[in-house]
Structure 1
Amino acid sequence: MLNRLFLPSIFALLIYGFWVSAEFKVIAAGVAVFLMGMVYLEKGFKLYTGGLLENILKKTTSTLFKSVSFGLATTSLLQSSSLVSVIVISFLSAGLIGLETAVGIIFGANLGSTAGAWLLAVFGLKIDLSSYAMPMLVFGLLLNTRAAKPLKGMGYILIGVAFLFLGIHYMKEGFDKFQSSIDLSAFHIDGIYGILVYTFLGAAATVIMQSTNALMVLVFSALAVGQLDYVNSLAIVIGSNIGTTVTTVIGAIGANAQGKRLAAAHLLFNVVTAIVGVVALNPLMVTVDEIATLFGIHPHDYTLKLAIFHSLFNIIGIALFIPFIKLLVKWLKSLFNDSYSKEPLNLAKIDESSMERAIYLNPAVLSYPDAAMRALTKESGRLYRNTLELICYGIYFSGEQLRNTDNLSELAENWEKEEQPWSIKGLYIRHIKGIYADIIHFAGALEGNLPRQQAQELFALKVACRNFVQAIKHVKHIYKNMGKYIESENDEIRHQYNQLRLCLASVLKLVDILGVRRNYNHIQEHAAQLKLELHEQDQQTYSTLNKLIRSEQVDSYMASSLLNDSAHVHDACTNLIDGAVIMITRDREEYREYDLAGFTPAAQKTSS
């Protein structure tokens, strides 16, 4: 109900403002042009984030100080703490950074948001920005027509900065004329009541405009011409810090528990900082005056003093939270529980009936191809780990047994059958189908945004996941016979089915080891050797089967079952090997050229 009333109310207020005041039109247009500049600036920087932002994150966020510095620098550059917050939530949800790192970046982003205030106070209100905006707009449009990504990105950035400058110009011009018709200073409210009212107005205005910088331009413009009282301006700045968290909260709605934790940290930081700002407003104003005097700032230069205040109370907020950040992270982890376990899936113990879904694929990360590919890779790895457990279940082992033994033959000989209350189909639906569906959906949404090299890698990942799913389906066909014949009184048929178990277990074991060690140099040789051994084992199975039939050690029913199941095991092993090879080597030079039509890496074609 509130959502349906919100937009019509805003439209009604704007129409009324346009009707009663021509100056209001100029101010509103200035806000719109400024916000349009933010949109173009974001588009431009996104064209440069392919790998750059992720690489910077890796190198510059290893400590808390570096994380805060990264948030400060990126927000100062992008001029949007909301955008940085959404990016960080996306990366955190995708598992690319840790929670403590993300919280540090958010703290730095709050301080970085004050850079815009300094630019406005020092330059924006004292020079004619429109004279700089016009040539930037012309050059930006010319560059934007180019196909080359760097040139197009620079075009977007120039257009964005030009619109920002024009927006500031029109807002400043609108307030200059506005004071001749309406005196906003008449709405000045003294005391704590005024501080609370204007804090609320600052928060509400930031929520409506979705931009702290746009609100800062309005406040600085109004303050510069005397339309807004200095103390009330300080209260609006405090309120804007609360309002800017709304974007983070919205961005976290579709995120996992990690994303929600970060949104809670952002909200807590800004609310606590705002409370400190309101409670300690008078001491902070005295401190601002002393800093202004120290640097020779005129006592009545309220715009610069407002910029000092904006930075000061954010610095105080960071100083208050930094000593307790580990406690904060611990509390945040208890606040939202993960819907998944970081431990390997154990089908012998799990008793949940809900369908597992993707945990790393946050839609917000789709705008950042490298981060999206990393998230997709992590989710594909998770699909493989579930596949391993499910195939182990299908051959009456467990993943834990497979990982902890070095002698598979001994494991098979000492095996004792345990109750298995779930069908392979039911386990597939619970632990594979939902994740696989999410991977395919995410990959489809991502596909159109990727350059050729990453598009090939994406396709390779999809083929790998398909191979894992196909391997499970082959195992599903042998599950019933496997359970029947590994307990058979017929020694020969029992031995043959144990050999099939050992074949699958050996492939799983080797693939798991290769995946952990990332043995790039020998993965092709290992894969080729495995396939050769599979082929030889197939031939051996046929030869042995013929002997068993001639000697009447197995009947025709057993023989047909063994023949079919041997083929399924061979296909399952081949699927696992192919999927694992792609997962491990998809980012290597020899796998860059992918035959999208034939589902076969070029490296395999040339070697075959």
Structure 2
Amino acid sequence: METFNLWKLLAGLGIFLFGIFLMEESIKELAGKAFKTLIRRYTETKISSVLSGALSTSILQSSSAVNLMVLAFVGAGIMSLNNAIGVILGANIGTTITAWIVAFFGFKISIESFALPLIAIGGLGFIIFSSAPRYLYTSKLLIGFGLLFHGLDYMKTSVDQITQIFDITMLSGYSLLIFLLVGIVFTAVMQSSSATIALILSGIYSGLIEFEAGAAMVIGANVGTTVTVMLGALGGIPIKKRVAIGHLVFNIVTGIVVFLLLPVLVWAIQNGLGWNQNAIMGIAMFHTLFNLIGIILFLPFITIFTDKLNTLFQEPRQILTHYIQNTSPEVSDAALEAFKKEILHQYVESRYYLIRLYNLSLSLNLTYVEQPPLKSLIPGSVDKVYERLKELHGNIFEYYSMIDGKQLDDTEAVRIDQYLRASRNIMNATKNLKEVRDELEQFELSSNTYLTEQLSIFQQRLEELFNDLDPIVEQRRGDITDFNHAIDSVDDYDVKCINESSQAIKNRKLKDLEATSMVMTNRLFTQSCRMFVFGIKGLLSE
């Protein structure tokens, strides 16, 4: 009989991580203002976050499920590190319910049995509701949640034979530290502290291990359960890694303290509570005490703890600006010129981003630029480039706020406000064109040929815009004729698109809803192009 299946283990890990990814992406799309408010309301204080974690785990019967959901919320940006640590502390309390259920009823509820129904319902919903975004992403969330547990189940069953043939009596006579280590290994392998607790309870019930040895294994099980969250944070953003490290530190520190107090706690349970003859209930109580001690140790210091965690996995701060970082805002003349150059640089980076986003056949560089596009922007996904563009815009606005207006004469004051409007126009245009690209992507998926052809048309329009603006930027000046030509070109394409869409409706090439999407997309695109022109005009008009 095969005792270990490597490919099943790796497949389980892949499915597990893909499930985490789907959950996080779905939560980002579903997290409207009301949802974010709800999450924050129930996790806004230390006590409420702990109680939320405990209640959620009691219902789901899996601290791993709750902790992985916390990772997804943190990754989606709707839960702070402080609140996340509180929920994880509470989840550790909630998971003790499993031990009490086994102690009282002799069985445990397994959430893994929900995996296939979740995948089935989510998969069908994903197909049926493909045109309804909210239901689509809800279905995607169900798929992700199902895959998460399906992956965990694969990882567990790939090593099941190892745990099934393990004879716990082989540990008889060994030190308590060995039992603790076995608890860690079993939980890490089986990806479930509840499964390890059930094994411990079975061993104690059968008289195979002593109560104190079982308690040591419980400590190990609590430490071993951190492996699941560590796996969930693999390849994640820094804050997800901080949550995983926080969970690890909490359980290790609590484990050390409880292990040192083990003789005292065992005596208190067996003699103080009078459960010397009821070892099963005693283990359930010990499991609960372990996590209560952890909360007592950490809850008063959550803020200090999270402050320390925030110092971990710091990404090196990249200087996104080219000019203003070297110019004091207190020197008005120099600051004004550096401010103008930085906004021109912003245009170059926005142009670079849109060339990548729309896959335009244009050169990335402009001859006027004293430095090539930021090295930090070139690698990585297009989304990362956009995030850095927003940060660059924020740096520009921050510099504007630092310039002493009292040192500016009336003309300079007008110019600097004009430059700031130019920066806002460039950023807003870039943001809108990002949204247009998303809409065009939906057009590409349409069965309507008229819509699928729109991407190439909008690409041509955007290339034409940059062909009009690039010479002005390269020469660092433009007259009214240049800008009027650019605006006329934008407006001509706008009129042409409206006329063609109107004709397509008459010829029944476009349905009413499709026509509405087409008109709205064109309007946003046209407004964005005009904002680009006005932005450059505000910087370089003679």
- Relative to the length of structure 2, the TM-score reads 0.55
CA separation of 1:415 and 1:323: change in aligned 2, threshold 3 A: closer
Matched, 1:188 2:182: no
- Residue 222 of structure 1: SS of its match in structure 2? helix
What is the match of residue 507 of structure 1? none
Aligned-residue offset at 1:111: 1.4
Structure-to-structure mapping, 1:362-401, within 5 angstroms: 382=387, 385=390, 398-400=396-398
Aligned-residue offset at 1:214: 1.4
Aligned-residue offset at 1:245: 0.7
Letter in 2 for 1:337: Q
Deviations 1:123-168 (A, max 9, x none): 125xxx99xx9xx99xx89x979978999x8xx99xx9xxx9xx9x
Aligned-residue offset at 1:286: 1.9
Aligned-residue offset at 1:260: 1.1
Contact 2:50–2:90 (8 Å) recurs in 1: yes
Q: Distance in 2 between matches of 1:253 and 1:146?
A: 25
What is the match of residue 331 of structure 1? 308
Aligned-residue offset at 1:336: 2.0
Structure-to-structure mapping, 1:144-163, within 5 angstroms: none
Which of 255, 261, 265 is 1:284 aligned to? 265
Aligned length: 386
What is the match of residue 240 of structure 2? 259
Contact 2:377–2:388 (8 Å) recurs in 1: no
Structure-to-structure mapping, 1:14-53, within 5 angstroms: none
Q: Distance in 1 between matches of 2:485 and 2:303?
A: 57
Q: Distance in 1 between matches of 2:460 and 2:47?
A: 44
Aligned-residue offset at 1:258: 0.8
Aligned-residue offset at 1:209: 0.8
| Structure 1, unpaired ranges of 5+ | 1-7, 13-31, 33-38, 362-378, 391-397, 419-426, 449-462, 497-558, 575-592
Contact 2:494–2:522 (8 Å) recurs in 1: no
Which of 54, 63, 70 is 1:81 aligned to? 63
Contact 1:185–1:229 (8 Å) recurs in 2: no
What is the match of residue 484 of structure 1? 475
Q: Distance in 2 between matches of 1:562 and 1:327?
A: 56
What is the match of residue 215 of structure 2? 234
Matched, 1:10 2:1: no
- Residue 310 of structure 2: SS of its match in structure 1? helix
What is the match of residue 367 of structure 1? none
Deviations 1:440-491 (A, max 9, x none): 7xx99xxx9xxxxxxxxxxxxxx9xx999997994675244146364x8xxx
Contact 2:39–2:78 (8 Å) recurs in 1: no
Which of 123, 126, 131 is 2:105 aligned to? 123
Aligned-residue offset at 1:315: 0.7
- Relative to the length of structure 1, the TM-score reads 0.50
CA separation of 1:92 and 1:146: change in aligned 2, threshold 3 A: closer
Contact 2:171–2:179 (8 Å) recurs in 1: no
Aligned-residue offset at 1:311: 0.6
What is the match of residue 323 of structure 2? 348
CA separation of 1:469 and 1:250: change in aligned 2, threshold 3 A: farther
**How high is the sequence identity, in percent, across the aligned residues?**
24
Contact 2:42–2:52 (8 Å) recurs in 1: yes
Aligned-residue offset at 1:263: 1.0
Deviations 1:274-314 (A, max 9, x none): 11121111011122235533xxxx42111110010001011
**Higher CA-based Rg:** 1
What is the match of residue 520 of structure 1? none
CA separation of 1:330 and 1:185: change in aligned 2, threshold 3 A: same
Structure-to-structure mapping, 1:554-573, within 5 angstroms: 559=481, 561-567=482-488
Q: Distance in 2 between matches of 1:189 and 1:469?
A: 79
Which of 225, 244, 269 is 2:225 aligned to? 244
Q: Distance in 2 between matches of 1:402 and 1:572?
A: 35
Deviations 1:19-73 (A, max 9, x none): xxxxxxxxxxxxx9xxxxxx9xxx9xx99x9769866423211111111111111
CA separation of 1:356 and 1:292: change in aligned 2, threshold 3 A: farther
CA separation of 1:120 and 1:411: change in aligned 2, threshold 3 A: farther
What is the match of residue 319 of structure 1? 296
Contact 1:257–1:336 (8 Å) recurs in 2: yes
Letter in 2 for 1:355: L
Contact 2:183–2:218 (8 Å) recurs in 1: yes
Letter in 2 for 1:10: F
What is the match of residue 505 of structure 1? none
Aligned-residue offset at 1:412: 8.0
- Residue 336 of structure 1: SS of its match in structure 2? coil
- Residue 335 of structure 1: SS of its match in structure 2? coil
| Structure 2, unpaired ranges of 5+ | 7-11, 13-18, 126-134, 326-370, 420-425, 446-453, 496-511, 525-542
Contact 1:95–1:360 (8 Å) recurs in 2: no
Q: Distance in 2 between matches of 1:209 and 1:266?
A: 18
RMSD: 5.8
Q: Distance in 2 between matches of 1:232 and 1:144?
A: 44
Aligned-residue offset at 1:185: 3.8
What is the match of residue 499 of structure 2? none
What is the match of residue 85 of structure 2? 103
Deviations 1:488-515 (A, max 9, x none): 8xxxx3xx3xxxxxxxxxxxxxxxxxxx
Q: Distance in 2 between matches of 1:571 and 1:235?
A: 77
Q: Distance in 1 between matches of 2:296 and 2:382?
A: 32
What is the match of residue 206 of structure 1? 187
Letter in 2 for 1:308: M
Q: Distance in 1 between matches of 2:380 and 2:54?
A: 32
Letter in 2 for 1:82: S
Letter in 2 for 1:189: G
Contact 2:93–2:288 (8 Å) recurs in 1: yes
Letter in 1 for 2:173: I
Q: Distance in 1 between matches of 2:416 and 2:463?
A: 22
